[in-house]
Amino acid sequence: MMKKTKFKFHPVECLMRLGALAGIVAILFIFAFVFIKAWPVISHNGLGLLINRGFDKQISEAFYAPVSDPMLTFGMAGLIAGTLVTTLIALIFSGIISIGSAITICEFAPRPLASALIAVVRLMASIPSVVFGLIGAMLVVPFVDQFITLDIEKVVSEFYLTGRNLLSASIVLTFMIAPTVITLSVDALYSVPDIYRETGYAFGMTRFRVISRILLPSARPGIVAGFILGAGRGIGEAIAVSMVCGGLGMIPDLKYGFISLLTPVLPLSAAIINKSEAMSVPAVESALFACGALLLVLGTVFSLVARFLVKRFSSGGLVNET
Amino acid sequence: MNTVEFQNVGAQYGDKAVLSGIELEIPANSIYALIGPSGCGKTTLLRSVNRLNDLIRGFILTGSIMVDGKSVYSLKDKESVRILRRGIGMIFQKPNPLPTSIMKNMTIPYLEHVRSSAKEARELALERLKLVGLYNEIKDRLDAPAIRLSGGQQQRLCIARSLMLPSNLLLMDEPCSALDPISTYKIEEILFELKKERTIIMVTHNIEQARRVSDYTAFFYNGVLVESGATHNMFAHPQHDYTQKYVSGRMIESVLQEVHIS
Ligand SMILES: Nc1ncnc2c1ncn2[C@@H]1O[C@H](COP(=O)(O)OP(=O)(O)OP(=O)(O)O)[C@@H](O)[C@H]1O
Ligand SMILES: [Mg+2]
């Protein structure tokens, strides 16, 4: 019996396996290619790549270095910090917006309005990122620019501040992440069985308490999944962020509080775009591939942590296991 | 007190009338069984008592339902409705533990409404779990997900949970329909215990169960109350032809015949 099925040829199954195999090969190839290209810079700097700063200056030095004596010393701490901080802030902003919107859509809006809102949100998720960048540059940057006063410039006196900064990057990213988080949260809230709502109401709970004590905890796995996808987009987003981030690889100095949000940043992905004009120089090219390699590593670590978190969140029995 | 009185109650979903002219008095400290074929409106009537049908758009109730002499549908503000609901325990057909731990299931409704410490809530929860005979079965996994309990255990958990608030009236919608005979037996034992201090209205499709546990029975057919009264009386001397057929299980025969003819 077993043997028979083993040797039987299933064209569809074969095709599917081939597809899966091709996917794995492609991923391995991408990793290999990026790391080979990045190797000169990675091997030259070692761990220093993660710890040292000064990427902007180093790029221009590398650009003007003689071909006989290429300059390979780079430090990407600023870029890593930029990626992490922008994504984190955007996640916090979009968390507030998205959960509120999802609750409004699922629990308060009348049906027709709710479906209209969902359609708008889905549409937002499919807008190309360069459009977000454009709107960010036209609307968000001038808006943020208003907050910059002479006093603030004195505090961080080294350079001229513009509206292109960490805050703008985070705001633009927020609007790119939010649709994903909203969509998944809405799906999660809609799939909470009605019986849970009724259970809450039968205990005389108010609508607000039913939402906060019963619906949100029940929908938590779906909402967390939304945040994970959103964070993935935040880490990888390049174009839009590069248009509004200010393009300087600084580590935001949190001791300045709000002012630290007004300093320019340069996340890894935006760095690849911003500095790509200098790519004709092999050292710069290798440095940018090193940015790519870091992004790949960051993405991998992130999805592993996310999987762990999802397991943690669900093991408390907060998921409907059926 | 814990009495319930239905006065000329009618109900409709949108234009569709599902109950009419229901007159029924539920005496205190009794088990009242509501029986009747599927779709005759038993659940609708039950869920009207704690106004849970308010959640359904288009639901309209006419006549009045009095709980302890107070008209339930005259309550105007939402807070009074919530207070009413807190005083009435509700057991659903499908066990409905929340997707959290056993202990949280017990304490959530309590801590929601009673100013008290988590420790007090826990103690009361243990007491209620003992009352429904669940404590010994689950005492070493109180923090495990409630969803991992068996169906019968989940239903007993839900009964225990409904006893966390001082509810003198329990509404049960086919509480045993998803359970095996032993779990059913255990729940029936609990009902006898609960009856001492509470009034229980129970929908059931199990005629034998109605005969075993209820003091009174009401038989519904097509949205009207055909007959009601003391259970032993009704089962021994049903007044109506329909009742007679239903309690003896012969209504099924006539349905089968109808199917056969058509
Ligand atoms: N939400 C609703 N919207 C519209 N009609 C409904 C709704 N709920 C129930 N009904 C209708 O009302 C009638 C009575 O339903 P109900 O659930 O009260 O019957 P029941 O006696 O509990 O039946 P069963 O024994 O199958 O549970 C049925 O015809 C049903 O189709
Ligand atoms: Mg029913």
Can you give the pLDDT at residue B177?
86
Amino acid B82: pLDDT: 93
Domain span holding position B262: 1-88+168-181+190-262
pLDDT exceeds 60 at position A55: yes
pLDDT at residue A47 tops 70 = yes
Is A236 within a domain? Answer: yes
Domain shared by B174 and B47, yes or no: yes
Average pLDDT over chain B, rounded to an integer: 90
Are residue B107 and residue B122 in the same domain, yes or no? Answer: yes
Based on the domain organization, do B75 and B195 belong to the same domain? yes
CB contact under 8 A, A317 and B100: yes
Nearest chain A residue (CA) to B161: A203
Task: Supply the pLDDT for residue B1.
Answer: 57
Residue A159 has a pLDDT of 67
Ligand 1 lined by B60 (C-beta under 6 Å): no
Q: What share of chain B has pLDDT > 90, as a percent?
A: 64
Question: Do residue A316 and residue B101 have CB atoms under 8 angstroms apart?
Answer: yes
- Burial-class residue A69 by CB neighbours within 10 Å (0-12, 13-18, 19+): exposed
Is the pLDDT reported for residue A318 higher than 50?
no
Is A59 among the domain residues? yes
Examine residue A134 and state whether it is found in any structural domain, yes or no: yes
Of the listed ranges A137-141, A269-273, B244-248, the one predicted with least confidence? B244-248
Determine the pLDDT at residue A319: 39
Comparing A131 with A148, the larger pLDDT belongs to A131
CATH number of residue A109's parent domain: 1.10.3720.10
Claim to verify: residue B114 and residue B159 sit in the same structural domain: yes
What is the rounded average pLDDT of the residues A4-19? Answer: 79
| B137 plus B127 within the same structural domain | yes
For residue B77, give the CATH number of its domain: 3.40.50.300
Per the domain annotation, does A12 fall within a domain? Answer: no
The ipTM of this complex is: 0.90
Q: What is the pLDDT of residues A236-258, one digit of tens each?
A: 888 999 999 888 888 887 777 78
Higher pLDDT, A126 or A160: A126
**Do B74 and B174 share a domain, yes or no?**
yes
The pLDDT-based confidence of A163 (bands split at 50, 70, 90) is: confident
Confidence of residue B250 (pLDDT cuts 50, 70, 90): confident
Say if residue B176 is in the same domain as residue B77. Answer: yes
User: Cα separations (Å) of B170 from B3, B82, B93, B259?
Assistant: 11, 16, 13, 37
For A213-227, write each residue's pLDDT tens digit: 999 989 988 898 899
| Domain match, B248 and B199 both | yes
Please check the confidence at residue B89 and state whether its pLDDT lies above 90.
Answer: yes
How many other CB atoms are found less than 10 A from the CB of residue A54? 15
Span A88-110, pLDDT tens digits: 999 999 999 999 999 999 999 99
Q: Does A127 touch chain B (CB under 8 A)?
A: no
Q: Closest approach of chain B CAs to the CA of A91, in angstroms?
A: 26
Give me the half-sphere count of Cα atoms (radius 13 Å) on the Cβ side of residue A36.
Answer: 6
> Does a structural domain hold residue A217?
yes
Do B52 and B110 lie in one domain? The reply is: no
Q: Which domain holds residue A97?
A: 30-314
Work out how many domains chain A is built from and give that number. Answer: 1
| In the predicted structure, residue A152 carries a pLDDT above the cut 80 | no
Q: Based on the fold, state whether residues B30 and B131 are members of the same structural domain.
A: no
- Using 50, 70 and 90 to split pLDDT, how confident is the model at A314? low
The reported pTM is 0.83
| Domain co-membership, B177 together with B244 | yes
Q: Which residues of B touch A203 (CB under 8 A)?
A: 85-86, 108-109, 112-113, 165
Q: Does B92 touch chain A (CB under 8 A)?
A: yes
* pLDDT tens profile A61-96: 888 888 888 888 899 999 999 999 999 999 999 999
Does residue B196 share a domain with residue B66?
yes
Domain annotation covers residue A24: no
Say yes or no for a CB contact (<8 Å) between B100 and A217. Answer: yes
Question: How many domains, in total, are found in chain B?
Answer: 2
Residues B83, B199: Cα–Cα separation, whole Å: 18
- The reported pLDDT for the residue numbered B133 is 86
Which residues does chain B have within 8 Å of residue A197's beta carbon, measured at their own beta carbons?
55
Cβ separation of A201 and B52 shorter than 8 Å? yes
- pLDDT tens, position by position, B95-139: 999 988 999 999 998 988 888 888 899 999 999 999 888 999 998
Among all bound ligands, the one having the nearest atom to the CA of B40 is 1
| A132-143: average pLDDT | 94
| A209 touching chain B per CB within 8 A | yes
pLDDT of residue A72: 87
